[in-house]
């Protein structure tokens, strides 16, 4: 149940009725943490299989079957995460005759979402979230980025993933004639992304119904109650605390013994500081005395605490934005997915240093942590960027609510509005216009050449006659 208090206001259909999702995620992340398979595409392929199973669970649920079979079922809006099988929701929006909204939790744009809403996506400056490129892209990076963006959109997503989703829909709605998923995707009325103009490719052209929700997690931190173990640990620290967390999905206990030892040895070299580590086990062999372990931690409250000095993070989207919210510098240790590009962006903004998990080195990690702890520029930049990112005319949550209610009040008014969808690809890139101009130039050139030749021939003939 996603709500603290049960209520009949919501009808909840679980995509994971047996509670297997975390075990599945462990089997996906373990090869990466063990350094036996660090391929992002392999991770996504495994996630795709898991996502198809989750969507299958939803469509098999008796509540969902009843909703689908009842012709009187109506919805005001259908909100979908359009990736890794979530596209099955497109058909539900079509079936229920409801406007379609999508959301992406990434900080950078995905090309297929931009294509769907008619938004420009230029790989010369918009980096694919699975690539660790930020800022100005050189020729080599633009070449790789262009290829990856094309392959990711047209092969991996539009062909491989959507084939699996079509198979899922064929299973549950056999014999039904329906538009293709790419056709349904063009009906998107609203697109949310967790980007921000000052993060990654946020400074790029956007269509009106593409809405940034970056810094949604930024809320005031709560003070710890007296006697709270974490709060007392923070308050009693003499020189400050370093917070260590690899997020809610990655289990730190699954990392290699070598990397665990590197982290512990580095922490031992900072006896003047204390460390809080989100650790999923009851104990940790070789744990230094200055390290406090906990299976669950109130991340935002810890980051907001004045004794918190540095955040050692995997650089997931939420962690990246929360550290900026509370204006704390980072040592980013990315593992997979969009974490490498977020870690690079931390370096690009000057709020921290990136140190790759796959190439972790004790001496380098020590120097990185020492720099972020003692060089004030990292904290100054965290304050500068955290301040501007959080200074918004409306709060992201309020903005999301307004847009959803706006779409509900005016259904289908934004559907198919982009003129891009009315153009062929050669018209969009003005290739027909360029060809016409080149033809005109060619005609002018040939005409001038003909006239010049005539004049020259005439002058030569006249000279011979004289």
- Are the CB atoms for 361 and 262 separated by under 8 Å? yes
- Are the CB atoms for 305 and 404 separated by under 8 Å? no
pLDDT in tens, 331-380: 999 998 899 999 999 999 999 999 999 999 999 999 999 999 999 999 99
pLDDT at 2: 58
pLDDT at 46: 85
pLDDT in tens, 82-113: 888 899 999 999 999 999 999 999 998 999 99
- The mean pLDDT value for 5-30 works out to 83
pLDDT at 317: 94
Percent of the residues in the chain that have a pLDDT greater than 90, as a whole number: 75
Tell me which H or E stretch contains 189. Answer: strand 188-193
- Domains in the chain: boundaries: 74-215+393-422, 229-390
Q: Residue 10 — pLDDT band, cuts 50, 70, 90?
A: confident
Residue 397 CB partners (closer than 8 Å, separation 6+): 213, 216
Q: Token pair of 238, please?
A: 């003499």
- The mean pLDDT value for 165-180 works out to 93
Q: Is the confidence at residue 441, as pLDDT, over 90?
A: yes
pLDDT at 342: 95
- Are the CB atoms for 78 and 411 separated by under 8 Å? no
pLDDT at 230: 96
- Are the CB atoms for 354 and 332 separated by under 8 Å? yes
Question: What's the count of helices (H) and strands (E) in the chain, helices before strands?
Answer: 18, 10
Tell me which H or E stretch contains 463. Answer: helix 431-465
Q: Is the confidence at residue 248, as pLDDT, over 90?
A: no
Q: Residue 142 — pLDDT band, cuts 50, 70, 90?
A: very high
pLDDT greater at residue 44 or residue 3: 44
Neighbours of 198 (CB within 10 A): 14
- Are the CB atoms for 388 and 198 separated by under 8 Å? yes
Please give the DSSP secondary-structure letter assigned to residue 392: -
Please say whether the structural domain 229-390 has been given the CATH code 3.40.30.10: no
pLDDT at 5: 67
pLDDT at 3: 59
Long-range contacts of 303-306 (CB under 8 A, 24+ apart): 303/221, 303/243, 303/328, 304/220, 304/221, 304/222, 305/221, 305/224, 305/234, 305/241
Percent of the residues in the chain that have a pLDDT greater than 70, as a whole number: 97
What does pTM read for this prediction?
A: 0.90
Please give the DSSP secondary-structure letter assigned to residue 17: T
- Are the CB atoms for 245 and 315 separated by under 8 Å? no
Strand 308-313, strand 330-332: pairing: parallel
pLDDT at 460: 64
pLDDT at 452: 87
pLDDT in tens, 290-330: 999 999 999 999 999 999 999 999 999 999 999 999 999 99
What region, left, alpha or beta, does residue 327 occupy, with left being phi > 0 and alpha being psi -120 to 50 degrees?
Answer: left
Q: Which of 62, 35, 13, 29 is nearest to 258 (CA)?
A: 35
> Chain centroid to CA 376: how far?
29
Q: Residue 35 — pLDDT band, cuts 50, 70, 90?
A: confident
């Amino acid at each position: 149940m996603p709500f603290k208090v049960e209520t009949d206001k919501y009808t909840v259909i679980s995509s994971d009725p047996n509670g297997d999702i975390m075990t599945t995620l462990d089997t996906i992340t373990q090869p990466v943490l063990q350094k036996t398979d660090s391929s992002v595409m392999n991770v996504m392929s495994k996630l795709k299989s898991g996502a198809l199973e989750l969507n299958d669970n939803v469509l098999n649920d008796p509540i969902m079957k009843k909703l689908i079979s009842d012709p009187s079922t109506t919805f005001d809006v259908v909100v979908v995460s359009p990736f890794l099988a979530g596209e099955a929701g497109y058909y539900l929006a079509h079936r229920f005759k409801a406007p379609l909204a999508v959301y992406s939790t990434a900080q950078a744009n995905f090309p297929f979402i931009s294509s769907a809403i008619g938004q420009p996506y230029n790989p010369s400056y918009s980096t694919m979230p699975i690539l660790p490129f930020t800022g100005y892209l050189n020729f080599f990076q633009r070449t790789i980025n262009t290829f990856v963006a094309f392959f990711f959109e047209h092969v991996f997503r539009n062909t491989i993933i959507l084939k699996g989703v079509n198979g899922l829909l064929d299973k549950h709605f056999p014999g039904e004639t329906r538009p293709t998923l790419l056709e349904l995707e063009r009906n998107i009325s609203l697109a949310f992304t967790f980007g921000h103009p000052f993060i990654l490719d946020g400074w790029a052209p956007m269509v009106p119904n593409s809405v940034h929700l970056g810094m949604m997690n930024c809320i005031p931190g709560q003070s710890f109650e007296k006697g709270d173990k974490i709060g007392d640990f923070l308050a009693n620290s003499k020189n400050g605390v370093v917070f260590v967390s690899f997020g809610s999905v990655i289990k730190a206990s699954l990392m290699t013994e070598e990397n665990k030892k590197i982290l512990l040895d580095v922490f031992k070299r900072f006896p003047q500081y204390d460390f809080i580590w989100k650790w999923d086990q009851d104990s940790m062999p070789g744990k230094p005395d200055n390290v406090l372990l906990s299976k669950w931690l109130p991340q935002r409250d810890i980051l907001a605490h004045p004794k918190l000095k540095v955040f050692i993070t995997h650089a997931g989207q939420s962690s990246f934005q929360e550290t900026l919210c509370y204006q704390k510098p980072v040592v980013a240790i990315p593992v997979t997915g969009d974490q490498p590009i977020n870690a690079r962006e931390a370096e690009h903004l000057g709020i921290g240093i990136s140190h790759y998990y796959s190439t972790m080195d004790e001496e380098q990690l020590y120097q990185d942590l020492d720099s972020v702890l003692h060089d004030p520029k990292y904290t100054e930049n965290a304050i500068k960027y955290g301040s501007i990112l959080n200074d918004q005319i409306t709060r992201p949550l309020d903005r999301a609510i307004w847009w959803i209610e706006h779409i509900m009040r005016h259904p289908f008014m934004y559907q198919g509005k982009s003129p891009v969808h009315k153009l062929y690809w050669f018209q969009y890139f003005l290739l027909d216009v360029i060809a016409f101009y080149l033809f005109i130039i060619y005609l002018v050139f040939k005409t001038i050449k003909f006239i010049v030749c005539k004049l020259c021939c005439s002058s030569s003939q006249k000279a011979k006659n004289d």
